Structure 1
């Protein structure tokens, strides 16, 4: 018997409780529905590929990716992402982080500026330091989230827009005028040891 899928975003389970650390593909499919959890080989950073579970693969509002442990058997994190122009996901992290938030709104949630890597490379837009703000999980870890730059017409990117593998502050004046938006966030699966 296939589990019934929620009808509306308000019926979603909290994303933090969607999967458990001891889940297998079979247990996740039994709980969420056999057609709601699919294995896929996905492109990763630096041209690599990795095996993952795609959750709700036919539903853009609920689609997410479960990153797996080294053995490829159990989930360790849930990734929700899109590109800068398509903020359709209804998932919201418990701390309020969601797709489509501007960097200014993210600063407000955090209670101050944060650092991120410049755009235009594999790790571009990744938050690197919450600088002790409310979104800082502590213990030398960063609650993963990523930003996407606005889409600029060719040659129209403003001077000083943060690009490259350096760290930049979210309170730069050019970002106030042209704020990037959250296009990726990660939730650790409950019961997975931090490390």
Structure 2
């Protein structure tokens, strides 16, 4: 009997820690099935997971890239399992049914179910409470997406766009000249812009030559990178310079690229759906809570200094705000000087505050 109790004592730790890890094959399987379902229009499971990943801040720089490749981000992977468990009302049998509906391999379902229930069993009540709050504002799944563009995709799309807008040389015959004269008097509709405006590939490039290959030599130039204090801070490469679609790329070696937008309106599809020119209210909503910023007309004027634990906390997003409506001294004086403001300050609503510039830091 004594030996039996000793054996039980030795086995208990193994039982309690059962399925504390998932094999890479199972991780790859779940990642692939979520990616496949994310491409289906109005898919409820992947749409729910994607929205919760975005709101929680676990989506990283680009929700589409994250959902399409969960196996590369284990924090997001675990969060996806948690939100599927929440979607399933923290009910193991319902969770298993939903895993099966995704088309997972049979030998993946039960290990994932055990892993998830063990990992989040103490959070069930909090997850159910969060789900109630989430559903109040959830507008439904936004799926039917295409996998994020790669560098090769950008090159192909932009080359096709350039070819489509190139006018072949006119023949020099009299007939061609007459046709040309007639064509000159005919107003033609502008060609559709089919260039690739995805931002994600800009975090993948590692040298200026790749930018030239992607966007064309005439559309890329080199400039000094200037920081908020007006000092030179290395070199930057500018795509579509001196246009509304201007974007600046800085290479920071092993630390990843910095992509900065300061012109608007812009066609670029930026991370988190926020870009230069967006209003303060939108930024508050994306962050999920008020944040802190420097007051205007002072050092580092309008710089966001603390996301206060919101969705943009620690995500490599640097934003400078500006006030457009500065004509009322009583309102503007409240937001100027050597002090820090909260983004929900009433006076800011009357100052028409917008994003002046936004920089995203992508890790290698």
* TM-score in terms of structure 2 length: 0.43
User: Could you list the runs of 5+ residues in structure 1 that have no partner in the other structure?
Assistant: none
Residue 126 of structure 1 deviates from its aligned partner by 1.3
Q: Distance in 2 between matches of 1:78 and 1:157?
A: 36
Question: For residues 179 and 106 of structure 1, do their structure 2 counterparts lie closer, same or farther at Cα, with a shift above 3 Å needed?
Answer: same
Q: Per residue, is there more strand in 1 or in 2?
A: 1
Q: Distance in 1 between matches of 2:283 and 2:304?
A: 11
Residue 171 of structure 1 deviates from its aligned partner by 0.8
Question: For residues 42 and 144 of structure 1, do their structure 2 counterparts lie closer, same or farther at Cα, with a shift above 3 Å needed?
Answer: closer
Q: Secondary structure at the match of 1:108?
A: helix
| 1:114–1:170 contact (8 Å) kept in structure 2 | yes
Aligned position for 1:67: 250
Residue 172 of structure 1 deviates from its aligned partner by 0.8
Name the stretch that deviates more: 123-132 or 158-167.
Answer: 158-167
Q: Distance in 2 between matches of 1:5 and 1:120?
A: 46
Q: Does 1:149 align with 2:323?
A: yes
Greater relative contact order (Cα 8 A, min sep 6): structure 1 or 2?
Answer: 1
Q: Distance in 1 between matches of 2:338 and 2:267?
A: 30
Question: For residues 11 and 151 of structure 1, do their structure 2 counterparts lie closer, same or farther at Cα, with a shift above 3 Å needed?
Answer: same
Q: Secondary structure at the match of 1:47?
A: coil
Q: Which has the larger radius of gyration?
A: 2
Q: Distance in 2 between matches of 1:20 and 1:117?
A: 32
Aligned position for 1:53: 237
Question: For residues 185 and 38 of structure 1, do their structure 2 counterparts lie closer, same or farther at Cα, with a shift above 3 Å needed?
Answer: same
Q: Does 1:17 align with 2:198?
A: no
Residue 151 of structure 1 deviates from its aligned partner by 4.2
User: Could you list the runs of 5+ residues in structure 2 that have no partner in the other structure?
Assistant: 1-154, 162-191
